[in-house]
Amino acid sequence: MKIGCPKEIKSQEFRVGMTPNAAREAVAHGHEVLIETQAGAGSGFDDAAYVDAGAEIVQTAEEVFARADMIVKVKEPQAGERKMLREGQVLFTYLHLAPDPEQTHDLLASGATCIAYETVTDDRGGLPLLAPMSEVAGRLAPQVGAWTLQKANGGRGVLMGGVPGVGPARVIVIGGGVVGTHAARIAAGMGADVTVLDRSLPRLRYLDDVFGGQFKNQYSTAGATAELVAQADMVIGAVLIPGAAAPKLVSRAQLSEMKPGAALVDVAIDQGGCFETSKPTTHADPIYEVDGIMHYCVANMPGAVARTSTIALGNATLPFLLNLADKGWKQACAEDPHLLNGLNVHAGQLTYYAVGRALGIDVVSPSLVIK
């Protein structure tokens, strides 16, 4: 199979879909790998490293899309990239379709087969291709939140760990999954006073067992959330209902109850965001203010630490990528129900129920399209 990897074109996105090590393994499996020139540069991988791995460097994204049977990326295809997809081609990348009707309609119109990293599952109930970027975004969240809290950035002027004689920042993390746990660990490590909210009692039991000495946890109800958010210096949004639009857990009215200059970091923004006042921002212009509360809502946070993120993502995607290339998407999905859970779009049909519900589009069962 010909595997194509274009350079990412989303604003300030420096990750790349394949590392030279991934290219080397794909070539060893008998595949041809086409890498757009400079695709890896933002992650510290030059063209020569890909050539050394046996890949071919091509000069334009157009050529990558025209020649490849499967496109491997990081971010959801941008409008110009969507126009280059075609029937029979496989797209393997993050999609986040539930909050994005425009992209969904373009992918349906393209006729391509689109497998979303973020809905591939594993047999422990996890999301193995979302997890590495959730680990990165979770660890980044207190760091960017601390920056947002600085006075010059419009924040409250509170130091995470306080100092002797002055108490620490109060950090509330809503959602105690991968993002939330990593965010809470780092925030606690910075000396903040941290509470994690989650709807899952088994998850709260796990957090209590493992991290009970480092941060507190509480069951997530609207009442508990309102009370804690009103006392917070920083709120990190880290909820997920897989594939679906994020539930709105903090309303605009609640902002007036908060401390002026408090920071909201909405990591769940790629699924539409869990604060009513969230809207996606970019690394170039990451924060904005609503009713005196500072919002950070960058939808591709891991792009800020592209080298770490590219390698971490590549480690997770490689076995799935090889499986898709070796067997073809249909057989690979038929043999692996977890990969089949990644199938969101095939030949003009939507195949993921939570996206269909969010966008009011009819869904065809993925098990029918692999027959």
Ligand X SMILES: NC(=O)C1=CN([C@@H]2O[C@H](COP(=O)(O)OP(=O)(O)OC[C@H]3O[C@@H](n4cnc5c(N)ncnc54)[C@H](O)[C@@H]3O)[C@@H](O)[C@H]2O)C=CC1
Residues near ligand PYR (CB under 6 A): 75, 94, 118, 130, 133, 270, 300, 302
Q: Is 299 in the site for Mg ion (CB under 5 A)?
A: yes
What is the C-alpha separation between 298 and 319, in angstroms, rounded? Answer: 29
Is there a catalytic annotation at residue 96?
yes
CB neighbours of residue 358 within 10 Å? 21
Residue 55 or 144 with smaller CB distance to ligand PYR: 144
Cβ 8 to ligand PYR shortest distance, Å: 10
Query: Is residue 270 annotated as part of the catalytic site, yes or no?
Result: yes
Q: Which residue's CB comes closest to ligand PYR? A: 133
Q: Cβ of residue 43: shortest distance to Mg ion, in angstroms? A: 17
Q: CB 49 → ligand X: shortest distance, Å? A: 26
- Least CB distance to ligand PYR at residue 116 (A): 10
Comparing CB distances to Mg ion, the nearer of 160 and 246 is: 246
* Alpha-helical runs (H) found in the chain: 20-28, 47-52, 61-67, 79-84, 101-110, 131-148, 178-189, 201-211, 222-231, 252-255, 306-327, 329-335, 337-340, 353-359, 366-369
Q: Based on CB atoms, which residue is closest to ligand X, 89 or 300?
A: 300
Q: List residues near ligand X by CB under 6 A.
A: 118, 127, 130, 133-134, 137, 174-180, 197-200, 203, 220, 238-241, 246-247, 249, 267-271, 299-302
Residue type, 36: E
Q: Does 266 bind Mg ion (CB under 5 A)?
A: no
For 316, half-sphere exposure in the C-beta direction (CA atoms, 13 angstrom radius) is 26
Residue type (1 letter), 13: E
Distance of CA 108 to the CA centre of its chain: 22
Spot the catalytic one: 100, 198, 270, 336.
270
Q: Does 238 bind Mg ion (CB under 5 A)?
A: no
What are the C-alpha distances in Å from 180 to residues 172, 174, 197, 236?
Answer: 10, 7, 9, 8
**Coil, strand, or helix at residue 96?**
coil
**Residues involved in catalysis:** 96, 270
